[in-house]
Structure 1
Amino acid sequence: MLFLSIALMYACSKNEDEITPEEKKISFTVPSNFPAPTYNFEDNELTNDGFALGKKLFYEARLSADKSVSCGSCHQQFAAFANLDHKVSHGVDNCQGKRNAPPLFNLAWQKAFFWDGGVKNLETSPLNAFTDACEMKTDLETVVSVLKNTAPYPELFRKAFGTPEINSQKILKSITQFMGVLVSGNSKYDQVMRKQNGVSFTSTELAGYNLFKEKCSSCHTEPLFTDFTYRSNGLDLVSVDEGRSHITGVKTDFGTFRIPTLRNIEYTGPYMHDGQFYSLDEVLEHYNSGVKASANLDPRLKNGIPLSSAEKEQIKSFLKTLTDNEFIKNKLFSES
């Protein structure tokens, strides 16, 4: 840890505006209006070097089969680590997946991952990206081999873990250090809830917030704006994607998908598991008039969610208060 200590001492001798993101002490901070996280770093000590290695691996396209795709290709920071303007994820050989790439933030509060909840541990979640034929199309053995023979990775692993040895566990732990620190909790909404600096909703935002609590909050529960359950919201009479039932084998899970967070929703389109809606207007109109009576439709959507034009605008106004520009523009998370 000598390198870390020297870096921090050097940072402390400089003015705040001279300190680079790499010199700042990396920490995992729970916003005061958030519940306790599910994941902690007790068995994965968070360090500057571990975080830096994880970030470099997150953006490393040479780990994919044709050296063209990284995790950051489908999870772009300017889209709150979602995939802007792509309905579904795009992988090697221009292969298109079947599901929309969800945003990556506040992952430490999730108990399961992906639209179907098929992975239960944050540390193993990158495996899907590495091995899926329509994503990076590789395997951990190949990834380890590439890293062992690619500078400066042996030295980066030495700094992060005390030895240049590279194995799958260290790869996954370092990527988790990067992803786990992706916390978004400083939107206008958060500042209002924390009564911070006198910030308050406008009348339109407040009206939208009250409508949201009445019509939407049973699934998109505050403050994470998801209850992490799996439901059908009636996108199709018969879903072409089996959804949660692919994991559970349970008939009543067919066509159900994890409730997504609404945080940073202004920038995470296209929306829904298949990316079929490109705007919030389309999403709200779906609930107003487009819900289809699928076999496993959430009972609360039996009659849709009737919304007037004015109510739609009010809800949109509130949803935009969930945008965390500080997170989206944080250079600490940027590729360069």
Structure 2
Amino acid sequence: MKIFVLFAFAAFAVVVFSGRSEVSQANGRYSTGSIDAPTGVRSTVNLYATKVGVYWDTVRGATLYRIYRNTANDANTATDVGTSAGNYYFDLTAVAGQSYFYWVRAENSVTSSSFSEPASGRRANGNVFPGPFPPLDPPPSPSGNSVTAAKASLGKALFWDEQLSSTNTVACGTCHRPEAGGRDPRTLFGDLASRNPGPDGTPDTFDDIFGSPGVPKNNADGTYFDSPLFAYRPQVTKRRAPSYLNTGYSPNGLFWDGRATGEFRDPLTNEVLIAAGASLESQVLGPPVSDIEMAHGGRDWTQVAAKIAAVRPLMLAEDVPGSLRNWIGGRSYPELFEEAFGTPEVTPARIAMAIATHERQLFSDQTPLDRWGASIEQLTPQEMNGLSLFVNKRCIDCHTGSLLADNEFHNIGVRPQLEDRGRGAISNNPVDDGAFKTPTLRNVELRGPYMRNGQFQ
């Protein structure tokens, strides 16, 4: 019963993402003489105690978006309250309890659009008091890779494009699904397709790992060959895929062992492109050249970039949302890179920066936990009981703060530490052997099976 109540407390940190965390939409046409008005404009009602969130879809050719506000449904007398280069804006000057209408106009160096359709928004009555779980604010962007709507939309296309893999069968989004809390829904405890036999190489033993199916063993010429552990089946990763949601808040690196550091280096030249805060960019560089996850043997980033430059965006994808399809508008990847970066070169660093920008916009800040932390609404009795257990059983020692995670590495004894050294293999410090990064508990209800080996249901 205690476990159930604890889970009830953790589960109230689950959120269904607003449209901004899915796909940035667009209206399709652009010329130097005109630009379309933003579509899909929406704003929050009683979700934040300190602001109103306004969101919209990417407009092809826009470099800036200007936000207007009025207490009456009249754009002509609306007040300019700010600008954003991305797909969202937070109005910090809204008065609590006052209903507003919001409009957005798209701009570039040549022209600006007409007003969008209005969206109604209202800041909630509430107060943010000091506490263990303050509401989540947006993640910062590193110097050198600021968020723009065009870059995020390009990153969205790349994230879901199976052509990023050697076999045209695996996209980033294959293993990281928003509806599954950012994890891989194919990972199932006891399932043959997601079973890695673990360090002893023998299936159906206690060290088995339930991870993500990747690619079969394959060569650059497209031929497959037999794997000792998986034959001609997709190989399975040696760790369960962590969530990609809320990963913009990672001061100590990404992956279970933190090996994707905040220093982002060009994979071709090793030049430091971003000195700090770029764990997302660094993380992108791993899977496309992993011969388990997405690559043929010996694949490098020159080959990855050359392939992306030559293929039609999302050519293999089904059910591409009209928003993203319209923004792409039949263009090639070099043309999309030109809109996002200013020139058409498709480079490894730009691929990483675009995907990281898309991921940086995926933060779940509209949960019941956030509303409770802002005194907007109360927890249910069951959630309050769970909170009490969560604190008294010292879960809060590691799962604390806005993310319900301390971003540190701990060995909690899931398996013998030398089976997988975890952080110790990165730090080369035996003290870190068997230590893994504390995962956030946001969206935890959607993310089973649990732990880095997928052994807990």
Q: Under TM normalisation by the shorter chain, which class is it?
A: 0.7 to 0.9
Partner of 1:170: 350
Give the residue type in structure 2 aligned to 1:139. Answer: D
- The match for 2:437 among 230, 243, 258 is 258
How far off its partner does 1:27 sit? 3.5
Aligned to 1:208: 386
Task: State the match for 2:37 in structure 1.
Answer: 10
Check the 8 A contact 1:30/1:36 in 2, yes or no: no
Q: C-alpha offsets along residues 83-132 of structure 1, whole Å, 9 cap, x if unaligned?
A: 12513122112110110100012222102111011111221111111122
Given the alignment, which residue of 124, 130, 138 partners 2:282? 124
Aligned to 2:243, what secondary structure does the other structure show?
coil
Kept in 2, the 8 Å contact 1:26–1:47? The answer is: yes
Deviations 1:145-186 (A, max 9, x none): 112212320111111112111111211111111011111111
Rounded Cα–Cα distance in structure 1 between residues aligned with 2:33 and 2:375: 38
Q: 1:72 aligns with which of 144, 151, 173?
A: 173
Q: 1:88 to 1:45 in 2, by over 3 A?
A: same
The 1:158–1:246 alpha-carbon spacing in structure 2 relative to 1, beyond 3 Å, is same
> Is the 1:98–1:274 contact (alpha carbons within 8 Å) kept by the matching residues of 2?
yes
The alpha carbon displacement at 1:45 in A equals: 2.8
Specify which of 58, 70, 87 is matched with residue 26 of structure 1: 87
Alpha-carbon RMSD: 2.9
Q: Distance in 2 between matches of 1:4 and 1:41?
A: 31
- Runs of 4+ in structure 1 deviating by more than 2 angstroms, as ranges, are 2-9, 14-17, 19-25, 27-39, 236-239
Which of 295, 300, 315 is equivalent to 1:139?
Answer: 300
TM, length-normalised to structure 1: 0.74
What amino acid does structure 2 have at the position aligned with 1:171? I
Query: Percent identity of the aligned residues?
Result: 31
Matched residue, 1:243: 422
Whole-angstrom CA distance in 2 between matches of 1:7 and 1:261? 44
Match of 1:82 in 2: 183
- Say if 1:10 and 1:107 are closer, same or farther in 2 by CA, change over 3 A: same
Matching residue of 2:107: none
Contact 1:27/1:181, CA 8 A, preserved across alignment = no
Provide the C-alpha distance between the structure 1 equivalents of 2:427 and 2:91, rounded to a whole number of angstroms.
32
CA contact 2:141–2:147 (8 Å) conserved in 1 = no
In the alignment, the residues of structure 2 paired with residue 54 and residue 116 of structure 1 have an alpha-carbon distance, to the nearest angstrom, of: 25
1:106 corresponding residue in structure 2: 246
Equivalent AA in structure 1 for residue 211 of structure 2: V
Name the SS for the 1:201 alignment partner. coil
Cα displacement (A) at 1:62: 0.8
Task: Determine if the alignment matches structure 1 residue 55 to structure 2 residue 156.
Answer: yes
CA distance in 2, matches of 1:132, 1:9: 41
The letter for the 1-side match of 2:235 is C
**Structure 2 SS opposite 1:174:** helix
Per-residue deviation, 1:251: 1.3
Which structure has more strand as a fraction of its residues?
2
Partner of 1:309: none
Shift in Å, 1:250: 1.3
Query: Corresponding residue for 1:193?
Result: 373
Aligned to 2:102: none
Q: What is the identity, as a one-letter code, of the residue corresponding to 1:80?
A: G
Partner of 1:297: none
Q: Which runs of 5+ in 1 are unaligned?
A: 279-336
| Structure 2 unpaired stretches of 5+ | 1-28, 44-54, 60-64, 66-85, 93-127, 129-133, 188-209, 217-233, 262-278, 313-331
Which letter maps to 2:337? F
Structure-2 change in CA distance of 1:271 and 1:194 (3 Å): same
> Partners in 1 of 2:370 and 2:407 — Cα distance?
20
Which residue type is aligned with residue 11 of structure 1? P
Kindly provide the amino acid, as one letter, of the partner of residue 150 in structure 1.
V
The question of whether the paired residues in 2 share the 8 Å contact of 1:106 and 1:183 is answered with yes
Which residue number in structure 2 is paired with residue 324 of structure 1?
none
One-letter amino acid matched to 1:10: A
- Tell me the TM-score normalized by structure 2: 0.55
Check 1:101–1:7 CA distance in 2 against 1; reply closer, same or farther (3 A cut).
farther
**Greater per-residue helix proportion:** 1
> Take 2:450 and 2:91, find their aligned partners in 1: how far apart are those partners?
27
- The alignment of Structure 1 onto Structure 2 pairs a total of residues equal to 273
16 and 105 in structure 1: CA distance in 2 versus 1, 3 angstrom threshold? closer
